[in-house]
Amino acid sequence: MTAGKISFTSRRFTKLWIRISRNKGLYLLVLPLVIYFAVFYYTPLYGLQIAFKDFKPVLGILGSRWVGLKHINKFLNSFSFESLLRNTLTLSIYGLVVNFPLAIILAIIIHYIPNIKYKKVVQTATYAPYFVSTVVLVGMLFIFFAPESGMVNKLIVSMGGKARDFVGSADLFPHVYVWSGVWQRIGWNSIIYIAALTSVSPDLHEAATVDGASKLQRIWHVDLPAIVPTAVIMLIMDCGRIMSLGYEKIYLMQTSSNMLTSEIISTYVYKIGLQNAQYSYASAIGFFNNAINCILLVVVNKIANKLSGSGLW
Amino acid sequence: MTVSAAFRKKRKQKPTNEKAFDLAIFLLGTMALLFAAYPLYFVLIASISNPDMTSAGKVILFPRGITFQAYEFIFADQRLWNGYLNTLIYTLGTMMVGLVITLPGAYALSRKDFVGGSLIIKLLTFTMFFQGGLIPTYLMVNQMGLTNTRIIVILLSSCTVFNVIVARTFFQSIPGELYEAANVDGCGNIRFFFSVVLPLSTTIVAVIALYLAVAQWNSYFNAMIYLNDTSKAPLQIELRRILVLGESLLGGSDDLPAEQIEYMRKVTILIKYAVIVVASAPIIALYPFLQRYFVKGVMIGSIKG
């Protein structure tokens, strides 16, 4: 009986081995990818343990002393924690609330442009800002919104208003950040909705038209329901990114006078970690940020599954 | 009779309603067009206009007082051209390394008979949600002795999970029977990939190559962190110097007469416009022709998020 069992498992292994060895080439093909992810994603994940250690470069990652949650606690109790969290959430939720519906609205507008050539022109033009680099975008903001010489302020003054330092003021910074983001991404974000609209069955529209529905009614009753699954997935992805607000653009936009609203967790991590060389503390802040992000994603996905039956997993 | 009359009335009414709708759509579409394109167009015309005209608000639809002064300064600026050259190197390098890493791996992962594939995919997807982050990555690069090397700028942006997923989704559309048939004829997986799969997959090669190229062309952060030598700095670092940090290409000196300083201030603004044009023109000019690939990538990526 034991012999039978052994031969059974060994037969299973032989079978598995046959399946593996038949496709030996595939392992070679996937090797560069596996090495890449092992080095550039999993090695830093291993290195993340310094968030729970007092990392000393001389001692190395392994040799440094464990200190548990010391750094995370230090951050949670720190003077800047509250404002960093508030700024991160403000900028990212403000951006989400504005960008999400606008991309859908733009997609509907583009989808219903009757002239196909003009539709193509509008599409191409609205995608263009996506290809402008962050540095150039921020450079344009500094030029256009310059306190005295910028054309936006000139326009405001000529209409009898008061010139303001848009980028450099803490009050206006969130608006400039979010709306320049709209400019850069709205066209690109709409692509996926345009695709969803195009794939709506013409039969549905025909049936609705026969029933006397106007185009506006068809948008409401045919198009919008059709893009709900796409919208839910995009919303989940966006919510999962709430805490991972990119530092690249904000870091460039920061001036000493807008720091009150522009300093976010990820730019703080960069400054604490790389400019002040407090590696463990900065890693702990980064870890905290990432953990919240993950929890958010899981929660939002659960809710989406409950509500509409569609989610990421 | 009343029913048909009402129906006829409805059919007569609709065209005016629909016309209003079409007009509203046309206007909104035009607004979107102007919102997106005008800032870019303005930069272009301002870069060849007399800065006095620009600051007086007279440059609106067409350039005024045409001057190519800014471009003359730019063409003479060694550092900027060096940055351009570096960016070309980084972009090409990222494209090549990225394709070599992404495509074969994504193909292997697309095969249903690949034992262990689903585990690898799980491990890859995990990194979308959880990363080591900036500091551990920085320490690792330091440890590897790759700080201040060109290769690290190339490597760090060579592969993303998103690109792998997009390529894998595309490869999944290649029927499995194709390999079985080739295998019967004695064609192994590796030869099959290079001589059958790749020729069938020019679209995805273009999509991934373009995604990699645009990302590298436009990035500055890794170069800022990891490179110390100005001789290795890519274009975006030079742009940051000029546009964000406000360094002048003309070199500042305080002991100049007032009108000279005023003149330099104007040319500095002009140069900013021109620099934006020079840096963005290649991509903005090329992408309308490559647009379908970018859009294709978004579509494929959206099938499996």
- B71 and B297 Cβ atoms separated by less than 8 Å: no
Q: Beta-carbon neighbour count of residue B31 at 10 Å?
A: 12
Each residue of A184-234: pLDDT tens digit?
A: 999 999 999 998 898 888 888 888 888 888 888 888 888 999 898 888 888
Tell me which of B8 and A38 has the higher pLDDT: A38
Both tokens assigned to A12: 């299973």
B220 lies within 8 A of chain A by CB: yes
Each residue of A261-276: pLDDT tens digit?
A: 999 999 999 999 999 9
β-strand pairing of A65-66 with A53-54: antiparallel
Each residue of A108-132: pLDDT tens digit?
A: 999 999 899 999 999 999 999 999 9
Both tokens assigned to B47: 């870069």
pLDDT at B1: 44
- Chain A: give the shortest CA distance to residue B250, in Å: 18
- When CB atoms are compared, the residue of B10, B32, B190 closest to A126 is B32
* B contact residues 69-128, partner A, Cβ 8 Å cutoff: 100-102, 104-109, 111, 113-117, 120, 123-124, 127
Q: What domains lie within chain B, and their CATH numbers?
A: 77-247 (1.10.3720.10)
pLDDT at B53: 84
pLDDT at A47: 93
Of residues A291, A286, A295, the one with CA closest to residue A51 = A286
pLDDT at B119: 95
Q: Where along chain A do its domains lie?
A: 2-68, 72-308
pLDDT at A24: 86
- Chain A: give the shortest CA distance to residue B280, in Å: 6
- When CB atoms are compared, the residue of B28, B193, B299 closest to A195 is B299
B218 lies within 8 A of chain A by CB: yes
The answer for residues whose C-beta is within 8 angstroms of residue B242's C-beta and 6 or more apart is A139, B248, B249, B271, B272, B275
- Chain B: give the shortest CA distance to residue A33, in Å: 5
Measure the CA–CA gap between B204 and B105, rounded to whole angstroms: 13
Measure the CA–CA gap between B25 and A110, rounded to whole angstroms: 8
Which chain A residues are within 8 Å of B94, Cβ to Cβ? none
* Cβ-defined contact of A143 to B269 (cutoff 8 Å): yes
- Chain B: give the shortest CA distance to residue A196, in Å: 9
Superfamily per CATH, domain A72-308: MetI-like (1.10.3720.10)
Mean pLDDT (whole number) for A86-101: 94
Each residue of A140-191: pLDDT tens digit?
A: 999 999 887 888 988 898 898 888 889 989 999 999 999 999 999 999 999 9
Measure the CA–CA gap between B271 and B243, rounded to whole angstroms: 9
- Chain B: give the shortest CA distance to residue A182, in Å: 10
Measure the CA–CA gap between B69 and B52, rounded to whole angstroms: 13
- Chain B: give the shortest CA distance to residue A240, in Å: 8
Both tokens assigned to B227: 């490179």
* Cβ-defined contact of A33 to B102 (cutoff 8 Å): yes
* B contact residues 34-63, partner A, Cβ 8 Å cutoff: 35-37, 39-40, 43, 55, 57
Which chain A residues are within 8 Å of B40, Cβ to Cβ? 128-129, 132
Per-residue pLDDT tens digits of chain B, which is 305 residues long? 455 555 555 554 556 778 889 999 999 999 999 999 999 999 999 999 988 888 888 888 999 888 898 898 888 888 899 999 999 999 999 999 999 999 999 999 999 889 999 999 999 988 988 888 899 999 999 999 999 999 999 999 999 999 999 999 999 999 988 898 898 888 889 999 999 999 999 999 999 999 999 999 999 999 999 999 999 999 999 999 989 887 776 665 566 677 777 788 888 889 999 999 999 998 888 888 888 888 888 888 776 54
Which H or E run contains B36? helix B2-46
Both tokens assigned to B211: 């995604």
Mean pLDDT (whole number) for A53-58: 89
Which chain A residues are within 8 Å of B155, Cβ to Cβ? 40
Which chain A residues are within 8 Å of B105, Cβ to Cβ? 29-34
Radius of gyration of chain B (CA): 27
pLDDT at A217: 87
Which chain A residues are within 8 Å of B28, Cβ to Cβ? 109
pLDDT at B185: 86
Which chain B residues are within 8 Å of A22, Cβ to Cβ? 113
Helices (H), A113-264: 116-127, 134-144, 151-158, 173-198, 202-210, 215-218, 224-240, 247-253, 259-262
- Mutation target among B135, B143, B158, B216 for the A interface, most CBs of A within 10 A: B135
- B240 and B22 Cβ atoms separated by less than 8 Å: no
